[in-house]
Amino acid sequence: MELTLSHLSKSYDGGKTFALNDFSKVFHSGVYGLLGANGAGKSTLMNLMTQNLNPDKGDIRWNGKKAKAMGRDYRTVLGYMPQQQNLYDDFTGEEFLWYMAALKGLKKKQAGERINSLLKTVNLKEAGFKKIHAYSGGMKQRLLIAQALLNDPAILIMDEPTAGLDPRERIRIRNFISEIATGKIVILATHVISDIEFIAREILFVRKGKLIQQGEPKQLLKNLDGMVWNVYMNEKELLQYEKEHIPIVSLAYAGEKICARVLNADRPGWGTAEEAQPTLEDVYFYYESI
């Protein structure tokens, strides 16, 4: 199982603005986290992989075959969960899944079994007969996850799958994604670091349309050893410290002091500095600030 993206580029404004610039990556089974700020190119990348957009340059191959030449055969291995919740409000949740199953070409018996199973999985079994306009944002999100899984796809692409979910539902969906990842390529774009911290095989950082870093979570954390500090200082020292333009990840009160979590190659010279263990949030902040 191999999904290969080779030198993908997509530009606008007559080639002046690149949404994606020479992006290459080979995916095998497992969960991949796709991280980047708004406008980094994540949505463009997902739209290229799902053939909602055509690249200006480069190609996509599934098990060595060009996806464009495969046509419908490629699309049958795809499952896509968009971030937007543009659903048919007058449908019930179950009717929506039957409609999507028909579009995906599922036979009636297979569709019925999948719909019944997935409604249970995403905790919508009792709400399946309600109109979608009565669903909360989180319920709509879970319905989008269910439709993406109808055809049991080999490639599952998910855009912010836990947006709008409460903490319990987020953990439940995250665990479910981890379970179904065996034998699938799961590409998950998110701003919630905890969604991928313990389930991602690799994390990809995208910035201004380029893949700027990638690796296993443990290796990415190791790259920041000796660079993360908790610095305890007063407000006056903090104001002076900010003038040094050293990246501050977060601020918190610690008794009468302020604890600034900072990234710096050397021990900071202000306040009392203690080396801290890197987290994936530190890694994300680092690659967004360099």
Predicted TM-score (pTM) of this structure: 0.87
Q: State pLDDT tens for residues 140-156.
A: 888 998 999 999 999 99
CATH number 3.40.50.300 given to 3-221: yes
Residue limits of CATH 3.40.50.300 in the chain: 3-221
pLDDT value for 122: 85
Q: Supply the pLDDT for residue 98.
A: 96
In angstroms, the CA 40 to CA 18 distance is: 10
Mean pLDDT across the chain: 89
Q: According to CATH, where is 3.30.70 located in the chain?
A: 222-289
* CA 129/CA 178 separation, integer angstroms: 28
| pLDDT at residue number 173 | 79
The string of pLDDT tens digits covering residues 17-47 is: 889 999 999 999 999 999 988 888 898 999 9
Which CATH fold would you assign to the domain 222-289? Alpha-Beta Plaits (3.30.70)
Work out the angle at residue 214's Cα, subtended by the Cα atoms of residues 211 and 215, and round it to the nearest 5 degrees. 170
pLDDT of residue 270: 77
Which stretches of the chain drop beneath a pLDDT of 70? 84-85
Q: Which helix (H) or strand (E) holds 257?
A: strand 257-263
* Extended beta strands in the chain, E state: 3-12, 17-27, 30-35, 57-62, 65-66, 78-81, 155-159, 185-189, 202-207, 210-215, 228-233, 248-254, 257-263, 272-275
Q: How many Å is the Cα radius of gyration of the chain?
A: 22
Q: Is 284 helix (H, G, I), strand (E, B) or coil?
A: helix
